[in-house]
Amino acid sequence: MPTLFKSLAELLEKIENTRKRLEITALTADFLKTLAPEEVEPAVSMILGRPFTKWNPKTLDVSWTTLTAILQTVTGAGWNAFAEAFRDTGDIGSATKSVFEQTKLKKQAQLLEKELTVPEVRRMLEAIAETTGSGSREKKERLITALLSQASPVEAKYLVKIFTGEMRTGLHEGLMEQAVAKAFEVPLATVQKASMAMGDIGEVAAIAKEGGKDALTNISFRLFRPVKLMLAQTAADVAEALEEQGGKTAFEYKYDGARVQIHKQGGEVRIFSRRLTDVTQSLPEIGEVVKANVKATDAILEGEVIAVDAAGSPVPFQHLMRRFKRVHEVTGMAEKIPVRLFLFDVLYLDGKSLITAPYLQRRQILGENAGDIPLTTQIVTDDRDEAERFLQRAIDAGHEGLMAKKLNSPYTPGTRGKRWLKIKPVLEPLDLVIVAAEYGHGRRHGWLSDYYLAARDAETGEFQTVGKTFKGLTDAEIVEMTKLLKAIAVSEEGNRVIVLPKIVVEVAYNEIQKSPKYHSRMALRFARITRIRYDKDAEGASTLERVRMTYEQQFAKKGRYKAE
């Protein structure tokens, strides 16, 4: 008998109510053991809040406005009932469950005689994603209505979380890897390596279910399935980078651009953004330059795309984002905003994974296979003065700063460590999520122009406010931001609108202070938005740990009250 979706929802309820990692892992592992092989990937994906595998280009493409209208239709409750439930729970899924429990519609009770299963929910999600063209909106609404009409309150809670991508139960991918290893008696390192190569723990879990360790050991990279990116920590200056990396280090220009992962197989090239979404259509000239220059049959490369002016000098990041957002009339936009590609790493070449090779060797292989595509400007040195001069040249050329890369470091997908370090000459901005906004005054009346900024708790997935600002955006950007925020509004409290944590902004500030005003107990001083990060999702936002670490680092050069 197929696994009931209610069993999956009840598992998530248990997970949400515990903060003990071992218990979360054990509960999940026990559930995975009960699944049929064909149910494993759909279940793992949905437990993590995704309708499909991570690499799958299908999207549900359902706005929050549409979803709230459907919820009101299914339950018979008005918007105020949902807004009130959200104020009580602070979670859109819990608010949905509360309203479902209160309404208890006869129609729903009749439909519940046929219970939802995990395979059936996946089929309905696929049908919703595949509905396109004329009349697709109405058909999507009918399909979603049918799905939610069959759902019990607890099932509705987690279906809404899947639709909105707001699962946040505390079960992240790292814990899921542990659960898969435990459930199918496979070494954790084997699961992690397979997950790196495939880019999706759901598929890894399905293979482990059927083939165990032997099947996972043979997994390698699969072209056109993006790999998690290796991430960097921050260094205050070149001296810290040299000390941290033990002497001689590769310093490279840090461009004010967008990171891309490029997959090539034969004559086909696809380009993936930092968020691992396919942006090939938006950057056709990058695809063509890779085809013309990279002679290897198969390759996975990493690089940075920057927007340039007529003289080839870099222009601000927001102009580049206009290219990434464009999928129609790309040729005209390419003429207005030309872009350049700089390569900096190679992960895979003609059937061979290179991620365990030392960085310096990967760089050499990259140079031998890049053709006329430039690599990031680089020096290798252990001389502080030389590195300082190189940093100044990068700044003078209009770039952000430097990257410092340990010469013998492997490429570790999905991890942030000190093998790669970012060096910027100013206090590094934070990437924060807008969780609420207030209407402005005067000429900003009618615009959502005062923003509450939050960092992500890496343990719980919760977003905690660390500041508020009305500075930084142009009038045109505020108008656009107002439209974006209204589309994801959850409730209104007087002049303030609570929104789903979806939109990431880069925020500059003078310092971080202790503050009883916010639950995080921290507040940014003189915060201002420097750009909208369309290339990042909420999972890529700065963490509370990062904010706390930056707060502590301030005292390296200033005093601290004893009360601190």
Residue 327, domain CATH: 3.30.470.30
User: Both 263 and 156 in a single domain?
Assistant: no
Bridge pairing between strands 268-272 and 258-265: antiparallel
Instruction: Note whether residue 252 is domain-resident.
Output: yes
Instruction: Note whether residue 198 is domain-resident.
Output: no
Instruction: Note whether residue 378 is domain-resident.
Output: yes
Q: What is the pLDDT of residue 107?
A: 47
Q: To which H or E segment does residue 245 belong?
A: none
Instruction: Note whether residue 191 is domain-resident.
Output: no
Instruction: Note whether residue 15 is domain-resident.
Output: no
The number of distinct structural domains making up the chain is 3
CA distance 86 to 88: 5
Which DSSP letter does residue 491 get?
A: E
75 C-beta neighbours (distance < 10 Å), count: 23
Instruction: Note whether residue 563 is domain-resident.
Output: no
User: Both 236 and 134 in a single domain?
Assistant: no
Q: What is the pLDDT of residue 33?
A: 97
In degrees, to the nearest 5, what angle opens at C-alpha 206 toward C-alphas 203 and 209? Answer: 150
Start-to-end CA span in the chain (Å):
59
User: Both 382 and 463 in a single domain?
Assistant: no
Q: What is the pLDDT of residue 3?
A: 96
User: Both 333 and 440 in a single domain?
Assistant: no
User: What residue numbers bound the domain in which 255 lies?
Assistant: 231-423
Q: At what angle do helices 188-198 and 201-217 cross, to 10 degrees?
A: 120
User: Both 369 and 308 in a single domain?
Assistant: yes
User: Both 277 and 401 in a single domain?
Assistant: yes
User: Both 147 and 266 in a single domain?
Assistant: no
| CA 328 to chain centroid | 24
Domain end, chosen from 400, 423, 446, is at 423
The number of CA neighbours under 13 Å toward the Cβ of 149 is 14
Cα-Cα-Cα-Cα dihedral of 318, 320, 325, 328, to 10°? 130
Indicate which CATH number applies to the domain containing 60: 1.10.3260.10
Q: What is the pLDDT of residue 327?
A: 62
Residues noted as catalytic: 254
Domain end, chosen from 423, 446, 470, is at 423
Q: At what angle do helices 136-149 and 118-129 cross, to 10 degrees?
A: 160
User: Both 254 and 134 in a single domain?
Assistant: no
User: Both 266 and 395 in a single domain?
Assistant: yes
| Structural contact between residues 412 and 355, judged by C-beta atoms closer than 8 angstroms | yes
Which residues is 524 bridged to in the sheet? 512
Q: What is the DSSP string of 543-558?
A: BHHHHHHHHHHGGGSS
Residue ranges of the alpha helices (H) in 105-263?
106-111, 118-129, 136-149, 153-164, 173-183, 188-198, 201-217, 238-244
User: Both 376 and 439 in a single domain?
Assistant: no
Instruction: Note whether residue 31 is domain-resident.
Output: no
CA distance 64 to 49: 16
Indicate which CATH number applies to the domain containing 446: 2.40.50.140
Per-residue pLDDT of the chain (564 residues; tens, 9 = 90+): 899 999 999 999 999 999 899 999 999 999 999 999 999 999 999 999 999 998 888 889 888 888 989 999 999 888 888 888 888 888 889 999 999 988 855 445 445 567 899 999 999 999 999 998 888 889 999 999 999 999 999 999 999 999 998 888 989 899 999 999 999 999 999 999 899 888 899 999 999 999 999 999 988 888 999 988 999 998 989 999 999 998 899 999 998 889 999 999 999 999 999 888 899 998 999 999 999 999 999 999 999 999 888 777 787 776 787 777 766 566 677 778 889 999 999 999 999 999 999 999 999 999 999 999 999 999 999 999 999 999 999 988 888 899 999 999 999 888 888 999 999 876 789 999 999 999 987 778 789 999 999 999 988 888 999 999 999 998 889 999 999 999 999 888 888 999 999 999 999 998 888 888 888 989 998 899 999 998 888 988 999 999 988 888 776 544 444 444
User: Both 459 and 530 in a single domain?
Assistant: yes
Q: What is the pLDDT of residue 432?
A: 96
Domain end, chosen from 143, 164, 185, is at 164
| Structural contact between residues 131 and 139, judged by C-beta atoms closer than 8 angstroms | yes
CA distances from 130 to 53, 126, 160, 163, 373 (A): 15, 6, 19, 15, 38
Q: What is the pLDDT of residue 561?
A: 42
Instruction: Note whether residue 122 is domain-resident.
Output: yes
User: Both 293 and 335 in a single domain?
Assistant: yes
